[in-house]
């Protein structure tokens, strides 16, 4: 299967600008983005919810960029391959955000459902619902049962009827 926007010429900065314009058009009242070596972050506030996407970025020294079937690439060629992969990721993020917003706007879904994993929880060290739920989902599958709904309460005794 081919990767979405695998050969895009749209720069990462144009994709970020498109994401910002899209968010404004759909009613976001805050927007931010930043990056470090291995990830970029896009955050926004909409309908009172703080939403954050962390976009993993490929490392420039990955073998898929530095080598090809006949050996090592030149530094210039490796950089071009890395830039292409980075552009593709930004295009994919723009598509995801736009699709989710359109699903909400078209009343196919609601914002909480579309962005649930990316909603930043208050007082959770800036963690998201996804950060909080992933370990619980893994544990539920590991043990084969749902965790207690209110884990802070003691289990009911057998004679409580």
Task: Please give the pLDDT value at position 6.
Answer: 76
The tens digit of pLDDT for each residue in 61-89 reads: 888 988 988 889 888 998 998 999 999 99
What predicted TM-score, i.e. pTM, was given to this entire model? 0.84
Residue-wise pLDDT tens digits, 90-142: 999 999 999 999 999 999 999 999 999 999 998 867 899 999 899 888 888 88
What pLDDT sits at residue 145? 83
Element (H, E) at 2: none
Nearest to 83 by CA among 14, 17, 2: 14
CA separation for the pair 161, 45 (Å, rounded): 47
Greater confidence (137 vs 34) lies with 34
């Amino acid at each position: 299967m081919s990767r979405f926007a695998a050969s895009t010429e749209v720069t990462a900065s144009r994709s970020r600008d498109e994401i910002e314009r899209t968010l404004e058009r759909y009613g976001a009242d805050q927007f931010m983005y930043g990056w470090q070596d291995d990830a970029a972050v896009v955050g926004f506030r909409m309908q009172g919810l703080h939403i954050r996407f962390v976009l993993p970025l490929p490392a420039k020294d990955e073998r898929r960029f530095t080598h090809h079937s006949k050996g090592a690439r030149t530094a210039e060629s490796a950089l071009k391959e890395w830039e292409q992969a980075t552009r593709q990721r930004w295009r994919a993020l723009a598509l995801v955000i736009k699709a989710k917003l359109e699903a909400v706007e078209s009343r196919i879904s609601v914002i909480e459902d579309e962005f649930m994993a990316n909603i930043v929880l208050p007082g959770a060290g800036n963690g998201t619902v996804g950060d909080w739920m992933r370990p619980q989902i893994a544990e539920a599958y590991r043990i084969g049962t749902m965790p207690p709904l209110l884990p802070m309460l003691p289990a009911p005794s057998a004679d409580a009827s």
